[in-house]
């Protein structure tokens, strides 16, 4: 789960990493006192907030109020806004910890070219990226802090603050089961304070059972359907086409998504019908229908998830929900003969080949019969 | 001969008394696997499908000389179960569980590497040598997929495996050994690390790799081919060519960020190394035929 | 540093390991309420307290008071007494964590034959000792708790309590830089409670800089001299002979101690004159003289500790303290010629060979001139 | 040839700018050691005895190809300094510091083992090959101890080493390489682990081991001799024959508890393996002569 900037900064603050002085304004709240000049930062998930006008600057309180109001009540409809003091920037640093799956290490990446996108930096100036690894079972050792901070060119008090910030970032990385902790930029101010001016924090969804401080909120999702499906534990992704996919397994889904595009169609959404969801056809179809696709394409090739159980679920769902759009099925695997039988009874032809199913769905979405 | 699991491999089943464990124990025995023991803490003395259950792996190994283990334990206990098996000296471990925390997976892989053991998974259907044995959850009774033969299959995906393998079988081939490496972003064993096993397996004439967007595992296979570590014919299908950037399609393995791990990059690397890459599952078998027949 | 039983139990309690209900009575304190029947346990460093009569039992409050008074104000002069409820014992278990220097592991040892001395058990029934190792960098994992508790034959709620106790013992072992944590016996009571009836806890002296919760107290030492020397950071050991040893280095000291015995003498005390103490000859000699030996034997073969500095220190000490007993020196190593010169000036013959020095000291102690 | 340190070993000195570090750097250079760099965080650009100082070991190694390091850092920082050296790829490390916490020492030894490196110490005078080089704090100018020759010395004690070695020299021998393994209860490298080096060193004709009560290191040497890992003549002196049980004579290594690690047990094991054991330092040289001359 990706946290909002303000949540990342809450964690930073709790572990002793300095953040700019600021206030968070939620939906109905009034403005409190702010430090001027200030930065007005929309708390939204999308990237490129600066270019999209979702970050604004103000020198006066009035101006700040107006700009914040425009973000909150204008077309962007931003729900939470972070208003922070504007820092006097002497230097900007990039600092992040992520996962190296080959070496099973926490990979620290740092660069004295802060503010830039690290992926951009990796392409254009790979030599400018400082790397330091902490293997599984090991701790981040003091010498590693020194390696990074000397390589960044820090000195004196900024060096010490930098060491402490990295150590605390690492603690948070382990403690919160993070996939990514990023401070970009980490600012050194004119008066040698080292402050996390921005923050990214992604918590591993698989560790949710031991990381319950950050429950899912509507704000994290693009649509109500995605949020509600996620609360039900059903992976659901929204796209902008017209074919609703119910597939079992990420691998097969990726392949179907490719095939839909290959044959000239467009996917409306993807809903994970496999794993524990294979017995929840009614809910699954309900979510899919809410997105109003022109056709539903159901493709599975089941192992544990039995084809006959899925087919029966689909039959039940059709009976209950009475969808007015065509449904194409290719439900294969354990119990596929019985599955074919069940579907035949409700007038569906259960296809055997994936490509045939995809082609038919694409044709149906284009209005063919 | 096969890879990873042989007819005489002495298989232990951890979590054997659970609903998944007992259900699959029946099928694992059904294919002919030499299951010698099961472990569930607190259930020593019970039997599942006539297999003796022990409280600890240490005791099970002491009494049955088990040398491989397949784990049917919930994801939050997978790490502990893997450590227990490694500590008892087991060098071949298959982890079925889906949803293992990535920090746990890093420790599992690291521990396996330092013990010189091979842990397959998590989030995998496991390993099967059709007609011989399996440590996993494959519906080997589906004949259009699990037919014995000479094509090795290695795969990051459960669901897509049946799809692609069916296409290989439909061209008249069969499967030597199928290794599901699992769909997680930190699999305990990576594609390229299986290549030496396939390379020396006389039953394997060619290899099909079912890859996916994200990560660098397919690129590592290309490197191994260029380095001469793997010299047999290889055909690959890689899902996620058109996947939108930054979206997770079901599991963590399948995500592209910042232009790294793109299917295009993987295809380029593999083709440069001499592999053929199918652009759709349906052509995988045909490409294999083309490559083998020259 | 070896802790007292009551200190070990304070740590146990703080990490959630059950201990018997009880009260600690310090020197001038009055008796509080006690649970009867009770055990009266003298808080002293020496082993074999039971046989020495330093542990007593009482069924009534009066009896307890009398027995405690006898220990406090009788010949034993016990300073602190722990009075605990007597447990209804169903089973006694041995449980300890120590260090395996070969495998660099924390070595857990357990036995269902609790109450016995583990070293005795290791000799007589080695097969009865359950071992479990936790390598450096690794944690004690749940499966290891199960390994131990199943091997001990625990079941049900006692099994769960046992797992928790071992986990918490291990946490304390790491957290306090312990060399040994031992619970012997760990009692399972009639009503299935698992309770640490005794406790040993040794903290690594080298980790004192990060383990400051347990300062040295007089109670930990056999004599005032040992305590005061320890506070000064000078290793000092008390024996019962008449030759006071000032040596540099543990290895040489052991050899000299052996040689004194070999040549028929007896050591009065050992004071470490090497390492950082080589410039502290005056203090060193002061401590040595307080023990009233018949002769002082000073043997060094210095590397960093320069012989001439040591010799000058001895000369200063002799001038200041004016010892009335003979002093034999064999101060060798870096600067030994200068050392000989310095000592010659105060009338000492600095010997070149260790054995000659030991023989002379032994002879002097016996009254030879 | 020598063991551990050669004339061309590229030695780094960690903690070079401290008072101990700079004092001994002069002597380490004085014997002829090839010191290529020093490290003290924050002192990059300085020089000590004309040796360049760097902020980090990583940089020092990158710029000077140092391949061995001797540490003059306080005991509480020893672990970090060892990890830093190991991480930079250095495989030969000497740790002088006395007073390293035993939990730190366990991590140091474990890290060294897993990196395939040899860390000598802590609480040691280090390593010296008289007339060639040293990584340590030996007064090599004392001629009655540090004379070049063909007897290897390995020792748990600093102070006793001069004593015993002087007795070896007085019988007309000299020293090939002297390894101080250190006096702590958890030395990073144990006696027996040095035996293969002495076994293959052509300069070493026989070995003197200066042992001590406590632990099992001398017994491990006896085992290695019985296993044929070490076949040269070996004479040992072991201090603490009459030490009272349970008392620490200055450092943690020298303690006997519960009948384990007694000198009597060590003597018995060594004599059974064919070694001679001196009952006093003064006879060590004589026994060596006896053993070598048959």
The encoded tokens of residue A70 equal 């425009």
B158 neighbourhood in chain A, CB within 8 Å: 249, 251, 303
pLDDT at C233: 85
Nearest chain B residue to A117 by CA distance is B258
Q: What is the β-pairing status of strands B68-71 and B11-14?
A: parallel
pLDDT value, residue C30? 73
User: A104 at the B interface (CB within 8 A)?
Assistant: yes
From CA B57, how far away is CA B83, in angstroms rounded? 10
Highest-pLDDT range among A113-122, A131-140, C18-27, C58-67 = A131-140
Q: In angstroms, what separates the C-alpha of B125 from chain C's closest C-alpha? A: 25
D82 vs D182: CA distance, rounded Å? 15
Nearest CA in chain C to B58: C147
Q: How far apart are CA D93 and CA D96, in angstroms?
A: 10
Average pLDDT over residues D171-191: 96
Across the interface, whether the CB atoms of B159 and A301 are under 8 A apart is answered yes
Answer yes or no: do B248 and A210 touch at CB < 8 A.
Answer: no
Structure tokens at D230: 């070490």
User: Is the Cβ pair D56, A142 closer than 8 Å?
Assistant: no
| CA nearest neighbour of A171 among A16, A1, A18 | A16
- Closest C-alpha among B161, B145, B142 to residue A337: B142
Q: What average pLDDT score do residues D237-254 get?
A: 69
> Which residues of A lie inside 8 Å of C (Cβ-Cβ)?
137-138
Structural contact between residues A1 and A216, judged by C-beta atoms closer than 8 angstroms = yes
Q: Which residue has the tokens 């900024």?
A: A158
Q: Which of D251, D255, D267, D269 is catalytic?
A: D251
Task: Name the residue of chain A whose CA is nearest to B157's CA.
Answer: A251
Mutate to test the interface with A, among D55, D76, D86, D114 (most CBs of A within 10 A): D55
The pLDDT confidence band at residue D250, using thresholds 50, 70 and 90, is very low
Question: In chain A, what percentage of residues exceed pLDDT 70?
Answer: 99
Chain A's closest residue to D85, CA to CA, is: A143
Separation between Cα atoms, residue B91 and residue D14, nearest integer Å: 40
Residues B266 and B234 sit within 8 Å (Cβ to Cβ): no
> Which member of B185, B247, B259 has the closest CB to residue A101?
B185
C174 vs D: CB within 8 A: yes
Residue range A161-204, pLDDT digits in tens: 999 999 999 999 999 999 999 999 999 999 999 999 999 999 99
Say if residues B182 and B70 touch (Cβ distance below 8 Å): no
Q: What is the pLDDT of residue D28?
A: 97
Q: Return the partners of chain B (3 or more C-beta pairs < 8 Å).
A: A, C
Give pLDDT tens digits for A246-257.
998 888 999 999
Domains of chain B: residue spans and CATH: 1-124 (3.40.50.720), 147-294 (3.40.50.261)
Interface size, chain A vs chain C, as Cβ–Cβ contacts under 8 Å: 3
pLDDT at residue D253, rounded to an integer: 41
Q: Closest approach of chain D CAs to the CA of C308, in angstroms? A: 14
Please give, rounded to a whole number of angstroms, the shortest distance from the CA of C137 to a CA of chain B: 11
* ipTM field: 0.93
Judged by CB atoms closer than 8 Å, whether chains meet at C143 and B83 is answered as yes
Smallest CA–CA separation between D243 and chain C, in Å?
7
Q: Please report residues of B whose CB lies closer than 8 A to that of C147.
A: 56, 58
**How many angstroms separate the Cα of D161 from the Cα of each of C255, D145, D165, D170?**
11, 9, 6, 14
Asked if residue B176 lies in contact with residue B147, where contact means CB atoms within 8 angstroms, the answer is no
CB–CB of B97/B78 below 8 Å? Answer: yes
Q: Which of B10, B156, B251, B266 is catalytic?
A: B251
Check pLDDT > 90 for residue D149: yes
Token pair of B44, please?
């020593």
- Cα A231 vs. chain centroid, distance in angstroms? 15
Neighbours of chain A (3+ CB pairs under 8 A): B, C, D
Query: Alpha-carbon distance D183 to D185, whole Å?
Result: 7
C142/B80 touch (CB, cutoff 8 Å), yes or no: yes
Strand blocks (E) in chain B: 11-14, 35-39, 47-48, 51-54, 68-71, 92-95, 118-121, 126-129, 133-136, 148-155, 175-180, 206-212, 234-239, 276-278
Whether the predicted pLDDT of A368 surpasses 50: yes
Set of chain B residues whose Cβ sits within 8 Å of the Cβ of A123: 259
Residues of A in contact with C138 (CB under 8 A): 137
Contact B160 A252 (CB under 8 A): yes
CB–CB contact D163 C354 (8 Å):
yes
Q: Is D27 an annotated catalytic residue?
A: no
Q: How far apart are CA D210 and CA A178, in angstroms?
A: 51
The full set of domains in chain C, from first to last, is: 21-85 (3.30.1490.20), 89-210 (3.30.470.20), 224-365 (3.40.50.261)
State the pLDDT at residue A223.
82
Which residues of B touch chain C, with CB atoms under 8 Å apart? 41, 44, 55-59, 77, 80-81, 83-84, 87
Q: Do C143 and B55 touch (CB under 8 A)?
A: no
Q: Do D59 and A142 touch (CB under 8 A)?
A: no
Q: Across the interface, do A303 and B241 touch by the CB < 8 Å criterion?
A: no
Q: What percent of chain D has pLDDT over 70?
A: 94
The arithmetic mean of pLDDT across residues D3-9, rounded, is 92
Find chain B residues with C-beta within 8 A of C141's C-beta. 80, 83-84
- pLDDT number for residue C368: 77
| Sign of the C-alpha dihedral computed for residues C119, C120, C123 and C124 taken in this order | negative
Å between C304 CA and nearest CA of chain B: 41
Rounded to an integer, the average pLDDT of D251-276 is 75
Cα–Cα distance for residue pair C89/C102, rounded to 1 Å: 37
Task: Transcribe B123-185 into DSSP letters.
Answer: SS-EEEETTTEEEE---TT-TTT--EEEEEEEES-SHHHHHHHHHHHTTT--EEEEEE--SSS
* Closest-approach residue (CA) in chain B for C135: B87
A124 Cβ contact partners less than 8 Å away, ≥ 6 residues apart: none
The arithmetic mean of pLDDT across residues D128-157, rounded, is 94
Q: Residue B271 corresponds to which tokens in the numbers above?
A: 């083709």
Residue bearing the bigger pLDDT, A334 or D129: D129
Chains touching C (at least 3 CB pairs under 8 A) are A, B, D
> Which tokens go with D81?
């300094």
Max mean pLDDT range (A69-83, A168-182, A223-237, D236-250):
A168-182
Between the alpha carbon of residue A161 and those of residues A166, A188, D54, the distances in Å are: 9, 10, 21
Average pLDDT over residues A71-93: 92
Q: What is the pLDDT of residue D2?
A: 67
> Which string of b and e fits C323-352 if b means at least 16 CB within 10 Å?
beebbbbbbbbbbbeebbebbeeeebebbe
What does C218-252 look like in DSSP terms, one character per residue? GGGSSSHHHHHHHHTT--EEE-SSSEEEEESSHHH
User: What is the C-alpha separation between D293 and A76, in angstroms, rounded?
Assistant: 96
pLDDT tens digits in sequence order for chain C, 369 residues long: 889 999 999 999 999 999 999 999 987 677 778 889 999 999 998 878 888 899 999 999 999 999 999 998 888 889 899 999 999 999 999 999 999 999 999 999 999 988 777 777 777 887 889 999 999 999 999 999 999 999 999 999 999 999 999 999 999 999 999 999 999 999 999 999 999 999 999 999 899 999 887 777 887 787 889 889 988 888 899 898 999 999 988 889 999 999 999 999 999 999 999 888 888 999 999 999 998 999 999 999 877 778 999 999 999 999 999 999 999 999 998 889 999 999 999 999 999 999 999 999 999 999 876
Chain C hits for B114, Cβ within 8 Å: none
Chains that touch D (3 or more CB pairs under 8 A): A, C
User: Once rounded to an integer, what is the mean pLDDT over residues A86-93?
Assistant: 96
Q: Which stretches in chain B have pLDDT values below 50?
A: 250-259
Residue C329 · residue C360 · CB < 8 Å: no
Smallest CA–CA distance, residue A156 to chain D, in Å, is 9
Give chain D's end-to-end CA distance (angstroms, integer).
26
* pLDDT of the residue at D260: 61
Look at residue C116 in the predicted model and tell me its pLDDT.
75
Higher pLDDT, A151 or A233: A151
Closest chain C residue to the Cα of A139, Cα to Cα: C137
The Cα A43–Cα C275 span in angstroms is: 61
């Amino acid at each position: 789960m990706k946290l909002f900037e303000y949540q990342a900064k809450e964690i930073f603050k709790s572990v002793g990493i300095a953040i700019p002085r600021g206030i968070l304004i939620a939906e109905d709240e009034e403005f409190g006192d702010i430090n001027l000049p200030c930065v007005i930062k929309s708390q939204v998930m999308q990237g490129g907030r600066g270019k999209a006008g979702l970050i604004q600057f103000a020198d006066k309180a009035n101006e700040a109020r107006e700009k914040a109001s425009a973000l909150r009540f204008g077309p962007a409809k931003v729900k939470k806004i972070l208003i922070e003091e504007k820092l006097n920037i002497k230097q900007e640093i990039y600092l992040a910890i992520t996962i190296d799956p080959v070496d099973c290490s926490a990979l620290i990446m740092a660069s004295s070219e802060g503010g830039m996108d690290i992926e951009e930096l990796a392409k254009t100036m790979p030599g400018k990226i400082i790397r330091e690894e902490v293997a599984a079972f090991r701790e981040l050792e003091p010498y590693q802090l020194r390696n990074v901070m000397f390589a960044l060119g820090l000195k004196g008090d900024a060096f010490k603050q930098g060491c402490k910030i990295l150590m605390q970032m690492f603690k948070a990385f382990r403690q919160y089961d993070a996939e990514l902790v990023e401070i970009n930029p980490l600012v050194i101010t004119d008066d040698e304070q080292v402050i996390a001016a921005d923050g990214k924090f992604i918590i591993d969804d698989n560790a949710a059972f031991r990381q319950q401080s950050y429950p899912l909120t509507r704000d994290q999702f693009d649509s109500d359907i995605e949020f509600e499906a996620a609360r039900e534990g059903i992976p659901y992704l929204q796209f902008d086409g017209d074919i609703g996919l119910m597939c079992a397994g990420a691998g097969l889904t990726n392949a179907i998504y490719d095939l839909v595009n290959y044959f000239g169609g467009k996917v409306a959404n993807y809903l994970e019908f496999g794993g524990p969801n294979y017995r929840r056809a009614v809910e699954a179809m309900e979510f899919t229908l809410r997105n109003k696709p022109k056709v539903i394409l159901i493709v599975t090739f089941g192992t544990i998830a039995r084809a006959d159980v899925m087919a029966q679920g689909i039959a039940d769902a059709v009976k209950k929900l009475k969808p007015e759009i065509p449904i194409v099925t290719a439900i294969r695997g354990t119990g596929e003969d019985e599955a074919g039988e069940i579907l035949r009874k409700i007038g569906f032809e259960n296809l055997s080949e994936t490509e045939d199913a995809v082609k038919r769905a694409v044709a149906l979405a284009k209005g063919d019969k | 001969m096969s890879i990873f699991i042989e007819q005489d491999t002495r298989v232990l089943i951890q979590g054997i008394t659970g609903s998944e464990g007992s259900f699959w124990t029946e099928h694992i025995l059904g294919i002919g696997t030499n299951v010698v023991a099961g472990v569930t803490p607190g259930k020593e003395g019970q039997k599942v499908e006539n297999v003796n259950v022990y409280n600890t792996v240490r005791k099970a190994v002491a009494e049955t000389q088990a040398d491989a283990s397949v784990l049917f334990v919930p994801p939050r206990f997978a790490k502990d179960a893997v450590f227990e098996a490694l500590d008892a000296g087991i060098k071949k471990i298959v982890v079925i569980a889906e949803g293992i925390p990535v920090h746990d997976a890093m420790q599992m892989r690291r521990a396996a590497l330092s013990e010189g053991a091979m842990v397959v998974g998590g989030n995998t259907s496991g390993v099967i040598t059709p007609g011989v044995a399996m440590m996993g959850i494959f519906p080997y009774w589906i004949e259009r997929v699990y037919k014995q033969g000479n094509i090795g299959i290695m795969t990051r995906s459960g669901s897509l495996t049946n799809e692609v393998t069916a296409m290989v079988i439909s061209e008249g081939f069969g499967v030597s050994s199928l290794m599901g490496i699992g769909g997680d972003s930190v699999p305990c064993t990576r594609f390229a690390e299986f290549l030496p096993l396939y390379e020396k397996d006389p039953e394997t004439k060619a290899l099909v790799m079912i890859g996916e967007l994200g990560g660098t595992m397919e690129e590592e296979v290309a490197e191994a081919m260029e380095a001469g570590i793997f010299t047999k014919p290889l055909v690959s299908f890689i899902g996620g060519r058109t996947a939108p950037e930054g979206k997770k399609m079901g599991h963590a393995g399948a995500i592209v960020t910042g232009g790294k791990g793109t299917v295009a990059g993987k295809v380029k690397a593999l083709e440069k190394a001499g592999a053929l890459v199918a652009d759709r599952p349906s052509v995988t078998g045909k490409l294999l035929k083309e490559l083998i027949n020259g």
